[in-house]
Chain A
Amino acid sequence: MSRHPGLRGVLIAVACAVGLVTAGWSDADAAGRRGGGGGGMSRGSPARSGGMSSRPAPQRPAQPSTRQAAPAQRPATQTSRPTTGSDRSAQQQGSSADRQGNRQENQGERQDNRDEAREDRQDYAEEAREDRQDYYDDWDDHYYYHDDDWAEAMVVGVTVGAVVAAADDYDDDTTTTVTNVTNVTALASLPCEASITVANGINYYQCGSNWYMRAYQGDAVVYVPSGPPPSK
Protein backbone atom coordinates (compact mmCIF):
# COMPACT_ATOMS: atom_id res chain seq x y z
CA MET A 1 0.00 0.00 0.00
CA SER A 2 2.80 2.34 0.79
CA ARG A 3 4.02 1.94 -2.74
CA HIS A 4 0.79 3.47 -3.94
CA PRO A 5 -0.33 6.08 -1.44
CA GLY A 6 -2.91 7.46 -3.86
CA LEU A 7 -4.61 4.14 -4.11
CA ARG A 8 -5.96 4.40 -0.64
CA GLY A 9 -8.06 7.35 -1.71
CA VAL A 10 -9.34 5.44 -4.68
CA LEU A 11 -10.15 2.52 -2.46
CA ILE A 12 -12.04 4.63 0.03
CA ALA A 13 -13.91 6.48 -2.70
CA VAL A 14 -15.08 3.32 -4.37
CA ALA A 15 -15.83 1.69 -1.04
CA CYS A 16 -17.95 4.69 -0.14
CA ALA A 17 -19.72 4.40 -3.46
CA VAL A 18 -20.45 0.81 -2.55
CA GLY A 19 -21.80 1.92 0.76
CA LEU A 20 -23.89 4.74 -0.61
CA VAL A 21 -25.57 2.89 -3.42
CA THR A 22 -28.09 0.49 -2.03
CA ALA A 23 -30.68 -1.70 -3.56
CA GLY A 24 -33.50 -3.87 -2.40
CA TRP A 25 -32.87 -7.28 -0.97
CA SER A 26 -34.34 -10.04 -3.00
CA ASP A 27 -35.68 -13.02 -1.21
CA ALA A 28 -32.95 -15.55 -0.67
CA ASP A 29 -35.30 -18.47 -0.81
CA ALA A 30 -36.73 -17.32 -4.10
CA ALA A 31 -33.24 -17.06 -5.43
CA GLY A 32 -33.00 -20.82 -5.30
CA ARG A 33 -29.30 -20.93 -5.87
CA ARG A 34 -28.34 -20.07 -2.35
CA GLY A 35 -31.38 -19.77 -0.18
CA GLY A 36 -33.47 -22.68 -1.24
CA GLY A 37 -33.37 -26.10 -2.69
CA GLY A 38 -34.00 -26.78 -6.33
CA GLY A 39 -37.64 -27.42 -5.60
CA GLY A 40 -38.12 -24.02 -4.04
CA MET A 41 -37.98 -25.29 -0.50
CA SER A 42 -36.45 -23.00 2.07
CA ARG A 43 -33.20 -24.06 3.66
CA GLY A 44 -33.64 -21.57 6.45
CA SER A 45 -33.98 -23.18 9.85
CA PRO A 46 -33.05 -22.50 13.44
CA ALA A 47 -31.63 -26.03 13.46
CA ARG A 48 -29.25 -25.37 10.61
CA SER A 49 -26.43 -24.05 12.75
CA GLY A 50 -26.43 -26.92 15.21
CA GLY A 51 -26.05 -24.39 18.00
CA MET A 52 -26.41 -25.33 21.62
CA SER A 53 -28.07 -22.10 22.59
CA SER A 54 -31.38 -21.08 21.18
CA ARG A 55 -33.08 -17.75 20.94
CA PRO A 56 -36.09 -18.04 18.70
CA ALA A 57 -36.11 -15.48 15.94
CA PRO A 58 -39.33 -13.88 14.79
CA GLN A 59 -41.34 -16.11 12.53
CA ARG A 60 -41.67 -15.16 8.93
CA PRO A 61 -43.09 -13.09 7.41
CA ALA A 62 -41.26 -10.53 9.44
CA GLN A 63 -39.35 -7.36 9.00
CA PRO A 64 -35.63 -7.88 8.64
CA SER A 65 -34.73 -8.81 12.14
CA THR A 66 -31.68 -7.62 13.93
CA ARG A 67 -30.47 -7.71 17.46
CA GLN A 68 -31.23 -4.05 17.65
CA ALA A 69 -34.83 -5.04 18.08
CA ALA A 70 -34.50 -5.40 21.81
CA PRO A 71 -32.71 -2.11 22.43
CA ALA A 72 -35.36 -0.41 20.33
CA GLN A 73 -37.87 -1.39 22.94
CA ARG A 74 -35.96 0.32 25.66
CA PRO A 75 -37.33 3.81 25.21
CA ALA A 76 -40.47 2.50 26.86
CA THR A 77 -38.48 2.24 30.06
CA GLN A 78 -36.72 5.52 29.53
CA THR A 79 -39.62 7.82 29.02
CA SER A 80 -39.08 9.55 32.31
CA ARG A 81 -35.73 10.88 31.19
CA PRO A 82 -36.81 13.33 28.51
CA THR A 83 -39.94 14.08 30.48
CA THR A 84 -37.80 15.00 33.43
CA GLY A 85 -35.91 17.53 31.41
CA SER A 86 -38.94 19.16 29.88
CA ASP A 87 -40.76 19.36 33.19
CA ARG A 88 -37.82 21.07 34.71
CA SER A 89 -37.61 23.49 31.82
CA ALA A 90 -41.28 24.30 32.07
CA GLN A 91 -40.99 24.94 35.74
CA GLN A 92 -38.13 27.31 35.18
CA GLN A 93 -40.31 29.47 32.96
CA GLY A 94 -42.63 30.33 35.84
CA SER A 95 -42.68 33.69 37.69
CA SER A 96 -40.03 34.61 40.18
CA ALA A 97 -42.56 34.45 42.99
CA ASP A 98 -43.68 31.10 41.84
CA ARG A 99 -40.12 29.97 41.67
CA GLN A 100 -39.50 31.24 45.16
CA GLY A 101 -42.65 29.68 46.50
CA ASN A 102 -42.17 26.48 44.69
CA ARG A 103 -38.44 26.15 45.12
CA GLN A 104 -38.70 23.63 47.87
CA GLU A 105 -41.32 21.70 45.96
CA ASN A 106 -39.30 21.86 42.77
CA GLN A 107 -36.23 20.68 44.58
CA GLY A 108 -38.22 17.77 45.82
CA GLU A 109 -39.53 17.04 42.35
CA ARG A 110 -36.08 17.35 40.88
CA GLN A 111 -34.78 14.98 43.49
CA ASP A 112 -37.57 12.59 42.65
CA ASN A 113 -36.87 13.02 38.99
CA ARG A 114 -33.17 12.48 39.51
CA ASP A 115 -33.84 9.40 41.57
CA GLU A 116 -36.18 8.14 38.89
CA ALA A 117 -33.71 8.95 36.15
CA ARG A 118 -30.96 7.22 38.09
CA GLU A 119 -33.13 4.15 38.51
CA ASP A 120 -33.94 4.26 34.82
CA ARG A 121 -30.28 4.48 34.00
CA GLN A 122 -29.53 1.62 36.36
CA ASP A 123 -32.29 -0.44 34.78
CA TYR A 124 -31.00 0.43 31.37
CA ALA A 125 -27.42 -0.43 32.30
CA GLU A 126 -28.53 -3.68 33.88
CA GLU A 127 -30.53 -4.61 30.80
CA ALA A 128 -27.65 -3.64 28.56
CA ARG A 129 -25.34 -5.85 30.61
CA GLU A 130 -27.81 -8.71 30.39
CA ASP A 131 -28.19 -8.16 26.66
CA ARG A 132 -24.45 -8.22 26.24
CA GLN A 133 -24.22 -11.34 28.38
CA ASP A 134 -26.90 -13.01 26.26
CA TYR A 135 -25.03 -11.94 23.18
CA TYR A 136 -21.80 -13.44 24.41
CA ASP A 137 -23.17 -16.57 26.04
CA ASP A 138 -25.52 -17.37 23.19
CA TRP A 139 -23.02 -16.81 20.44
CA ASP A 140 -24.10 -19.95 18.63
CA ASP A 141 -27.82 -19.25 18.68
CA HIS A 142 -29.72 -19.01 15.45
CA TYR A 143 -31.13 -15.55 15.60
CA TYR A 144 -30.34 -14.86 11.95
CA TYR A 145 -31.29 -18.15 10.47
CA HIS A 146 -32.86 -16.78 7.34
CA ASP A 147 -30.26 -15.50 4.96
CA ASP A 148 -32.12 -12.26 4.52
CA ASP A 149 -32.52 -11.61 8.22
CA TRP A 150 -29.58 -9.29 7.88
CA ALA A 151 -29.68 -7.57 4.55
CA GLU A 152 -27.88 -4.61 6.05
CA ALA A 153 -24.26 -5.63 6.29
CA MET A 154 -20.84 -4.16 6.63
CA VAL A 155 -17.55 -4.93 5.01
CA VAL A 156 -15.35 -6.53 7.63
CA GLY A 157 -12.43 -7.88 5.78
CA VAL A 158 -10.43 -6.97 2.82
CA THR A 159 -11.31 -5.17 -0.32
CA VAL A 160 -9.11 -5.65 -3.29
CA GLY A 161 -8.43 -5.34 -7.01
CA ALA A 162 -11.77 -4.02 -8.07
CA VAL A 163 -11.56 -0.90 -5.99
CA VAL A 164 -7.95 -0.20 -6.72
CA ALA A 165 -7.96 -1.33 -10.29
CA ALA A 166 -7.37 2.16 -11.61
CA ALA A 167 -3.67 1.49 -11.15
CA ASP A 168 -2.76 -0.68 -14.08
CA ASP A 169 0.53 -1.77 -12.61
CA TYR A 170 -0.97 -2.57 -9.27
CA ASP A 171 -0.14 -5.96 -7.85
CA ASP A 172 -3.37 -7.90 -7.72
CA ASP A 173 -2.14 -9.85 -4.75
CA THR A 174 -1.76 -6.75 -2.66
CA THR A 175 -4.66 -6.23 -0.35
CA THR A 176 -5.77 -3.59 2.03
CA THR A 177 -7.62 -4.01 5.25
CA VAL A 178 -10.61 -1.74 5.47
CA THR A 179 -10.57 -0.20 8.87
CA ASN A 180 -13.53 2.09 8.38
CA VAL A 181 -16.82 0.28 8.45
CA THR A 182 -18.53 0.38 5.09
CA ASN A 183 -22.18 -0.43 5.21
CA VAL A 184 -23.77 -2.14 2.27
CA THR A 185 -27.06 -3.67 1.37
CA ALA A 186 -26.48 -6.98 -0.31
CA LEU A 187 -28.59 -8.86 -2.84
CA ALA A 188 -28.92 -12.61 -2.80
CA SER A 189 -29.26 -12.57 -6.56
CA LEU A 190 -28.96 -10.05 -9.34
CA PRO A 191 -32.12 -8.23 -10.37
CA CYS A 192 -31.57 -8.94 -14.05
CA GLU A 193 -29.70 -11.11 -16.51
CA ALA A 194 -26.60 -9.07 -16.03
CA SER A 195 -23.88 -8.47 -18.55
CA ILE A 196 -20.46 -9.11 -17.10
CA THR A 197 -17.43 -6.92 -17.54
CA VAL A 198 -14.12 -8.19 -16.26
CA ALA A 199 -11.64 -5.56 -15.20
CA ASN A 200 -8.35 -6.50 -13.56
CA GLY A 201 -9.68 -9.90 -12.68
CA ILE A 202 -12.84 -8.59 -11.05
CA ASN A 203 -16.28 -9.36 -12.39
CA TYR A 204 -18.62 -6.39 -12.62
CA TYR A 205 -22.27 -7.14 -13.26
CA GLN A 206 -24.36 -4.54 -15.03
CA CYS A 207 -28.10 -4.18 -14.73
CA GLY A 208 -29.15 -1.05 -16.58
CA SER A 209 -27.15 1.78 -15.08
CA ASN A 210 -26.36 -0.17 -11.92
CA TRP A 211 -23.19 -2.14 -11.34
CA TYR A 212 -22.57 -4.90 -8.84
CA MET A 213 -19.68 -6.90 -7.47
CA ARG A 214 -19.72 -10.17 -5.64
CA ALA A 215 -19.18 -10.45 -1.91
CA TYR A 216 -19.21 -13.23 0.67
CA GLN A 217 -21.89 -13.21 3.36
CA GLY A 218 -22.60 -15.96 5.85
CA ASP A 219 -21.95 -18.99 3.65
CA ALA A 220 -22.97 -17.56 0.34
CA VAL A 221 -21.87 -15.35 -2.48
CA VAL A 222 -24.03 -12.23 -2.74
CA TYR A 223 -23.99 -9.06 -4.79
CA VAL A 224 -23.32 -5.56 -3.59
CA PRO A 225 -23.74 -2.34 -5.53
CA SER A 226 -20.52 -0.93 -6.86
CA GLY A 227 -19.31 1.75 -9.10
CA PRO A 228 -18.62 0.89 -12.75
CA PRO A 229 -15.42 -0.91 -13.62
CA PRO A 230 -12.39 1.34 -13.85
CA SER A 231 -12.41 1.62 -17.62
CA LYS A 232 -15.97 2.89 -17.72
Chain B
Amino acid sequence: MIHKRTRRLARPAAVLAVLTVAVAVVPARAADPTPAPEASAQDRAARVLLLGMAEFMARAPAMSVTMRSGYDAIQADGRRIEFGERRRIHMQRPDKLRVDVERSDGERGTVVFDGRWITAFKPAENVYARVEKPGTLDQVLVYMVRDLRATLPLARMFTTGFPVDLDKRVTSVAFVEECSLFDVPTDHVAVSSAEVDLQLWIAKGPQPLPRRVVITYKNDAGEPQFRADLYDWSVPAKFDAAAFVFVPPAGAEQIMYLAPRPPVDVPTGPTGEQR
Protein backbone atom coordinates (compact mmCIF):
# COMPACT_ATOMS: atom_id res chain seq x y z
CA MET B 1 0.00 0.00 0.00
CA ILE B 2 1.21 3.43 -0.77
CA HIS B 3 0.78 5.54 2.26
CA LYS B 4 -2.00 8.08 2.05
CA ARG B 5 0.24 11.03 2.78
CA THR B 6 2.67 9.95 0.17
CA ARG B 7 -0.21 9.57 -2.20
CA ARG B 8 -1.41 13.08 -1.55
CA LEU B 9 1.99 14.59 -2.04
CA ALA B 10 2.45 12.71 -5.26
CA ARG B 11 -1.06 13.30 -6.55
CA PRO B 12 -0.24 14.74 -10.00
CA ALA B 13 2.40 12.11 -10.60
CA ALA B 14 0.04 9.42 -9.41
CA VAL B 15 -2.71 10.58 -11.78
CA LEU B 16 -0.26 10.55 -14.65
CA ALA B 17 0.96 7.12 -13.68
CA VAL B 18 -2.58 5.77 -13.47
CA LEU B 19 -3.45 7.17 -16.86
CA THR B 20 -0.30 5.70 -18.33
CA VAL B 21 -1.00 2.32 -16.82
CA ALA B 22 -4.63 2.52 -17.90
CA VAL B 23 -3.64 3.18 -21.50
CA ALA B 24 -1.23 0.27 -21.38
CA VAL B 25 -3.59 -2.10 -19.62
CA VAL B 26 -6.92 -1.47 -21.30
CA PRO B 27 -6.16 -3.40 -24.51
CA ALA B 28 -4.80 -6.29 -22.48
CA ARG B 29 -7.86 -6.37 -20.25
CA ALA B 30 -10.13 -6.24 -23.24
CA ALA B 31 -8.46 -9.39 -24.47
CA ASP B 32 -8.63 -11.06 -21.07
CA PRO B 33 -11.83 -13.09 -20.89
CA THR B 34 -11.47 -13.95 -17.18
CA PRO B 35 -13.98 -11.92 -15.18
CA ALA B 36 -13.33 -10.90 -11.62
CA PRO B 37 -14.43 -13.76 -9.38
CA GLU B 38 -17.61 -13.12 -7.51
CA ALA B 39 -17.96 -14.09 -3.91
CA SER B 40 -19.32 -17.60 -3.67
CA ALA B 41 -22.21 -18.44 -1.42
CA GLN B 42 -19.68 -20.08 0.88
CA ASP B 43 -17.60 -16.90 1.00
CA ARG B 44 -20.67 -14.81 1.69
CA ALA B 45 -21.47 -17.17 4.51
CA ALA B 46 -17.90 -16.75 5.75
CA ARG B 47 -18.46 -13.02 5.99
CA VAL B 48 -21.54 -13.68 8.08
CA LEU B 49 -19.46 -15.96 10.32
CA LEU B 50 -16.79 -13.29 10.66
CA LEU B 51 -19.18 -10.51 11.58
CA GLY B 52 -21.12 -12.87 13.83
CA MET B 53 -17.93 -13.51 15.78
CA ALA B 54 -17.27 -9.78 16.05
CA GLU B 55 -20.82 -9.08 17.18
CA PHE B 56 -20.66 -11.82 19.77
CA MET B 57 -17.45 -10.41 21.22
CA ALA B 58 -18.76 -6.86 21.14
CA ARG B 59 -21.88 -7.84 23.06
CA ALA B 60 -20.10 -9.88 25.72
CA PRO B 61 -20.41 -8.14 29.09
CA ALA B 62 -17.30 -9.79 30.44
CA MET B 63 -14.76 -12.25 29.14
CA SER B 64 -11.47 -13.83 29.94
CA VAL B 65 -9.08 -15.61 27.63
CA THR B 66 -5.48 -16.72 27.38
CA MET B 67 -3.60 -15.55 24.31
CA ARG B 68 -0.42 -17.35 23.34
CA SER B 69 1.05 -15.23 20.61
CA GLY B 70 4.14 -15.01 18.49
CA TYR B 71 5.37 -12.55 15.94
CA ASP B 72 8.10 -12.33 13.36
CA ALA B 73 10.88 -9.87 13.93
CA ILE B 74 12.75 -9.41 10.67
CA GLN B 75 16.36 -8.84 11.58
CA ALA B 76 18.70 -6.42 9.86
CA ASP B 77 20.31 -9.34 8.04
CA GLY B 78 16.92 -10.54 6.82
CA ARG B 79 16.50 -13.43 9.20
CA ARG B 80 12.98 -14.05 10.46
CA ILE B 81 12.98 -14.59 14.22
CA GLU B 82 9.89 -15.41 16.24
CA PHE B 83 9.36 -13.99 19.69
CA GLY B 84 6.51 -15.08 21.86
CA GLU B 85 4.29 -13.84 24.63
CA ARG B 86 1.48 -15.25 26.69
CA ARG B 87 -1.25 -13.11 28.13
CA ARG B 88 -4.12 -13.79 30.45
CA ILE B 89 -6.79 -11.22 29.70
CA HIS B 90 -9.71 -10.34 31.94
CA MET B 91 -12.13 -7.69 30.80
CA GLN B 92 -15.44 -6.52 32.13
CA ARG B 93 -17.44 -3.90 30.34
CA PRO B 94 -17.85 -1.09 30.59
CA ASP B 95 -14.60 -0.19 32.29
CA LYS B 96 -12.44 -2.94 33.74
CA LEU B 97 -9.35 -4.67 32.36
CA ARG B 98 -6.48 -6.77 33.59
CA VAL B 99 -3.75 -8.23 31.45
CA ASP B 100 -0.96 -10.40 32.83
CA VAL B 101 1.81 -10.98 30.32
CA GLU B 102 4.87 -13.18 30.18
CA ARG B 103 7.35 -12.76 27.38
CA SER B 104 9.35 -15.58 25.88
CA ASP B 105 12.44 -14.28 27.66
CA GLY B 106 10.68 -14.58 31.00
CA GLU B 107 9.92 -10.90 31.50
CA ARG B 108 6.55 -10.40 33.13
CA GLY B 109 4.19 -7.51 33.49
CA THR B 110 0.68 -6.62 34.52
CA VAL B 111 -1.65 -3.87 33.37
CA VAL B 112 -4.81 -3.06 35.28
CA PHE B 113 -7.56 -0.58 34.47
CA ASP B 114 -9.98 -0.16 37.36
CA GLY B 115 -12.33 2.31 35.69
CA ARG B 116 -10.23 5.29 36.63
CA TRP B 117 -6.55 4.43 36.78
CA ILE B 118 -4.36 2.56 34.37
CA THR B 119 -1.60 0.86 36.31
CA ALA B 120 1.38 -0.90 34.76
CA PHE B 121 3.44 -3.15 37.02
CA LYS B 122 6.78 -4.84 36.47
CA PRO B 123 7.35 -7.47 39.15
CA ALA B 124 11.03 -8.06 38.37
CA GLU B 125 11.86 -4.46 39.16
CA ASN B 126 8.96 -4.14 41.61
CA VAL B 127 7.91 -0.85 40.06
CA TYR B 128 4.56 0.43 38.89
CA ALA B 129 3.32 3.48 37.04
CA ARG B 130 -0.15 4.94 36.98
CA VAL B 131 -2.07 7.30 34.77
CA GLU B 132 -5.56 8.52 35.49
CA LYS B 133 -7.89 7.85 32.61
CA PRO B 134 -11.53 7.53 33.56
CA GLY B 135 -13.62 6.24 30.71
CA THR B 136 -14.91 3.18 28.99
CA LEU B 137 -12.88 0.14 28.12
CA ASP B 138 -13.09 1.11 24.46
CA GLN B 139 -11.62 4.52 25.18
CA VAL B 140 -8.91 3.14 27.40
CA LEU B 141 -7.85 0.47 24.91
CA VAL B 142 -7.43 3.15 22.26
CA TYR B 143 -5.57 5.38 24.67
CA MET B 144 -3.25 2.63 25.81
CA VAL B 145 -2.39 1.39 22.35
CA ARG B 146 -2.30 4.69 20.49
CA ASP B 147 -1.11 7.12 23.13
CA LEU B 148 0.81 5.04 25.63
CA ARG B 149 2.10 2.63 22.98
CA ALA B 150 1.32 -0.32 25.17
CA THR B 151 1.56 -3.68 23.43
CA LEU B 152 -1.92 -5.16 23.61
CA PRO B 153 -2.18 -7.50 20.64
CA LEU B 154 -5.57 -7.75 18.97
CA ALA B 155 -6.80 -4.85 21.09
CA ARG B 156 -9.23 -3.83 18.37
CA MET B 157 -10.89 -7.20 18.69
CA PHE B 158 -11.83 -6.37 22.27
CA THR B 159 -13.62 -3.11 21.53
CA THR B 160 -17.34 -2.79 20.95
CA GLY B 161 -16.54 -1.09 17.65
CA PHE B 162 -14.93 -4.25 16.29
CA PRO B 163 -17.87 -5.33 14.07
CA VAL B 164 -18.11 -1.91 12.44
CA ASP B 165 -14.33 -1.64 12.06
CA LEU B 166 -14.14 -5.07 10.53
CA ASP B 167 -17.01 -4.47 8.14
CA LYS B 168 -15.40 -1.23 7.01
CA ARG B 169 -11.90 -2.59 6.54
CA VAL B 170 -12.50 -5.98 5.03
CA THR B 171 -12.29 -6.14 1.28
CA SER B 172 -12.80 -9.88 0.89
CA VAL B 173 -13.66 -12.89 2.97
CA ALA B 174 -13.07 -16.44 1.87
CA PHE B 175 -14.03 -19.70 3.51
CA VAL B 176 -11.02 -22.01 3.69
CA GLU B 177 -12.20 -25.16 5.44
CA GLU B 178 -13.62 -26.67 8.55
CA CYS B 179 -10.82 -27.37 10.96
CA SER B 180 -10.91 -30.11 13.59
CA LEU B 181 -7.57 -29.52 15.29
CA PHE B 182 -8.89 -27.42 18.16
CA ASP B 183 -10.87 -28.54 21.16
CA VAL B 184 -13.99 -27.52 19.28
CA PRO B 185 -14.69 -27.58 15.54
CA THR B 186 -13.82 -24.30 13.86
CA ASP B 187 -14.34 -22.52 10.58
CA HIS B 188 -11.15 -21.30 8.99
CA VAL B 189 -11.77 -17.94 7.32
CA ALA B 190 -9.34 -15.86 5.27
CA VAL B 191 -9.91 -12.14 5.31
CA SER B 192 -8.21 -9.37 3.38
CA SER B 193 -8.07 -5.66 3.93
CA ALA B 194 -5.98 -3.10 2.11
CA GLU B 195 -3.41 -3.24 4.88
CA VAL B 196 -3.29 -6.76 6.28
CA ASP B 197 -4.30 -10.32 5.52
CA LEU B 198 -6.10 -11.96 8.38
CA GLN B 199 -6.93 -15.59 9.06
CA LEU B 200 -9.28 -16.66 11.79
CA TRP B 201 -10.38 -19.99 13.12
CA ILE B 202 -13.82 -19.34 14.57
CA ALA B 203 -15.47 -21.82 16.89
CA LYS B 204 -18.68 -23.34 15.64
CA GLY B 205 -21.66 -23.30 17.91
CA PRO B 206 -23.34 -20.79 20.17
CA GLN B 207 -20.07 -19.07 21.16
CA PRO B 208 -18.35 -18.11 17.90
CA LEU B 209 -15.06 -17.07 19.46
CA PRO B 210 -11.72 -16.91 17.66
CA ARG B 211 -9.45 -19.83 18.55
CA ARG B 212 -6.57 -18.75 16.36
CA VAL B 213 -5.66 -15.54 14.57
CA VAL B 214 -2.91 -14.98 12.03
CA ILE B 215 -2.19 -11.52 10.68
CA THR B 216 0.17 -10.96 7.78
CA TYR B 217 1.54 -7.45 7.39
CA LYS B 218 1.78 -7.74 3.67
CA ASN B 219 2.93 -4.18 3.09
CA ASP B 220 5.87 -4.38 5.45
CA ALA B 221 9.34 -5.54 4.57
CA GLY B 222 9.57 -9.29 4.93
CA GLU B 223 5.80 -9.58 5.37
CA PRO B 224 6.03 -10.42 9.07
CA GLN B 225 3.21 -12.28 10.74
CA PHE B 226 1.49 -12.14 14.08
CA ARG B 227 0.03 -15.43 15.27
CA ALA B 228 -2.10 -16.09 18.32
CA ASP B 229 -3.89 -19.05 19.81
CA LEU B 230 -6.75 -18.06 22.08
CA TYR B 231 -7.94 -20.57 24.64
CA ASP B 232 -9.50 -20.90 28.07
CA TRP B 233 -12.26 -18.58 26.94
CA SER B 234 -14.86 -17.67 29.50
CA VAL B 235 -17.84 -15.72 28.20
CA PRO B 236 -19.50 -14.28 30.11
CA ALA B 237 -16.84 -14.37 32.76
CA LYS B 238 -17.37 -13.70 36.43
CA PHE B 239 -14.71 -11.89 38.37
CA ASP B 240 -14.03 -10.99 41.94
CA ALA B 241 -13.95 -7.28 42.49
CA ALA B 242 -10.33 -7.65 43.51
CA ALA B 243 -9.40 -8.80 40.03
CA PHE B 244 -9.30 -5.22 38.82
CA VAL B 245 -7.79 -3.63 41.87
CA PHE B 246 -4.06 -3.12 41.88
CA VAL B 247 -2.46 -3.31 45.28
CA PRO B 248 1.24 -2.45 45.15
CA PRO B 249 3.37 -5.21 46.66
CA ALA B 250 5.47 -4.38 49.67
CA GLY B 251 8.36 -2.16 48.76
CA ALA B 252 7.08 -1.41 45.26
CA GLU B 253 8.32 1.88 43.84
CA GLN B 254 5.94 4.07 41.93
CA ILE B 255 7.56 5.53 38.87
CA MET B 256 6.44 7.96 36.21
CA TYR B 257 4.45 6.93 33.17
CA LEU B 258 5.79 8.21 29.87
CA ALA B 259 4.10 8.53 26.49
CA PRO B 260 5.33 9.72 23.14
CA ARG B 261 4.45 13.27 22.35
CA PRO B 262 1.34 13.31 20.18
CA PRO B 263 1.18 14.85 16.72
CA VAL B 264 1.06 18.60 16.84
CA ASP B 265 -2.23 18.77 14.96
CA VAL B 266 -4.11 16.27 17.10
CA PRO B 267 -5.13 18.18 20.20
CA THR B 268 -7.98 15.99 21.34
CA GLY B 269 -8.92 12.44 20.57
CA PRO B 270 -12.40 11.41 19.48
CA THR B 271 -12.77 9.48 22.66
CA GLY B 272 -12.41 12.67 24.60
CA GLU B 273 -8.82 12.35 25.72
CA GLN B 274 -7.33 15.59 26.82
CA ARG B 275 -3.70 15.98 26.05
Q: Which residues of A contact B (CB under 8 A)?
A: 34, 37-38, 41-56, 59-60, 66-68, 70-71, 73, 76-77, 127-128, 130-132, 134-136, 139-140, 142, 144, 150, 152-161, 175, 177, 181, 183-184, 186, 201-203, 213-219, 221-222, 224
> Among B69, B76, B127, B149, which residue has the most Cβ atoms of chain A within 10 A?
B149
User: How near does chain A come to B163, taking the closest CB pair, in angstroms?
Assistant: 13
Q: Does B73 contact A (CB under 8 A)?
A: yes
Contacts of B265 in A (CB 8 A): 71, 128, 131-132
Are A45 and B71 within 8 A (Cβ)?
Answer: yes
In Å, the complex CA distance between A54 and B156 comes to 13
Are A52 and B127 within 8 A (Cβ)?
Answer: no
Q: Does B109 contact A (CB under 8 A)?
A: yes
Stretch at the interface among B17-25, B88-96, B218-226: B218-226
In Å, the complex CA distance between A43 and B72 comes to 9
Are B266 and A132 within 8 A (Cβ)?
Answer: yes
Query: Restricting to B125-163, which residues have a CB under 8 Å from any CB of A?
Result: 125, 127-132, 142, 145-157
Q: Does B40 contact A (CB under 8 A)?
A: no
Are B226 and A215 within 8 A (Cβ)?
Answer: no
The 7 closest A-B pairs by CB, nearest first: A50-B153, A157-B131, A157-B257, A216-B129, A150-B260, A47-B224, A54-B195
In Å, the complex CA distance between A213 and B165 comes to 40
Q: Does B264 contact A (CB under 8 A)?
A: yes
A151 and chain B: residue at smallest CB distance: B260
In Å, the complex CA distance between A60 and B222 comes to 13
Q: Does B253 contact A (CB under 8 A)?
A: yes
**A54/B219 contact (C-beta < 8 A), A37-B105, A224-B256 known:** yes
In Å, the complex CA distance between A46 and B120 comes to 22
Q: How many residues of B contact A (CB 8 A)?
A: 79
The contact of B165 among A46, A52, A160, by CB within 8 Å, is A52
Query: Restricting to B197-244, which residues have a CB under 8 Å from any CB of A?
Result: 198, 213, 215, 217, 219-221, 224-226, 228
8 contacts between A and B (CB under 8 A): A47-B71, A49-B145, A52-B195, A54-B219, A76-B9, A135-B263, A214-B253, A215-B256
Contacts of A66 in B (CB 8 A): 260-261, 263
The contact of B256 among A47, A77, A131, A158, by CB within 8 Å, is A158
In Å, the complex CA distance between A109 and B213 comes to 60
Contacts of A76 in B (CB 8 A): 9
User: How near does chain B come to A10, taking the closest CB pair, in angstroms?
Assistant: 15
Contacts of B145 in A (CB 8 A): 49, 51, 139-140
The contact of B73 among A44, A136, A184, by CB within 8 Å, is A44
A142 and chain B: residue at smallest CB distance: B217
In Å, the complex CA distance between A18 and B49 comes to 52
| New A-B pairs, 9, CB < 8 Å, besides A50-B213, A54-B220, A144-B260 | A50-B71, A52-B166, A54-B217, A55-B195, A60-B76, A142-B217, A183-B261, A216-B127, A217-B149
In Å, the complex CA distance between A214 and B263 comes to 25
Q: Does B81 contact A (CB under 8 A)?
A: yes
Are B73 and A42 within 8 A (Cβ)?
Answer: yes
In Å, the complex CA distance between A70 and B9 comes to 10
The contact of A38 among B105, B125, B253, by CB within 8 Å, is B105
Are B83 and A43 within 8 A (Cβ)?
Answer: yes
In Å, the complex CA distance between A75 and B86 comes to 45
User: How near does chain B come to A188, taking the closest CB pair, in angstroms?
Assistant: 12
In Å, the complex CA distance between A11 and B155 comes to 35
> Among B130, B147, B263, which residue has the most Cβ atoms of chain A within 10 A?
B263
Are B270 and A140 within 8 A (Cβ)?
Answer: no
Are A217 and B258 within 8 A (Cβ)?
Answer: yes
The contact of B257 among A54, A128, A213, A215, by CB within 8 Å, is A215
Are B149 and A144 within 8 A (Cβ)?
Answer: yes
In Å, the complex CA distance between A76 and B72 comes to 37
Contacts of A177 in B (CB 8 A): 132
Are B5 and A70 within 8 A (Cβ)?
Answer: yes
Are B146 and A140 within 8 A (Cβ)?
Answer: yes
The contact of A49 among B130, B153, B259, by CB within 8 Å, is B153
The contact of A222 among B5, B154, B258, by CB within 8 Å, is B258
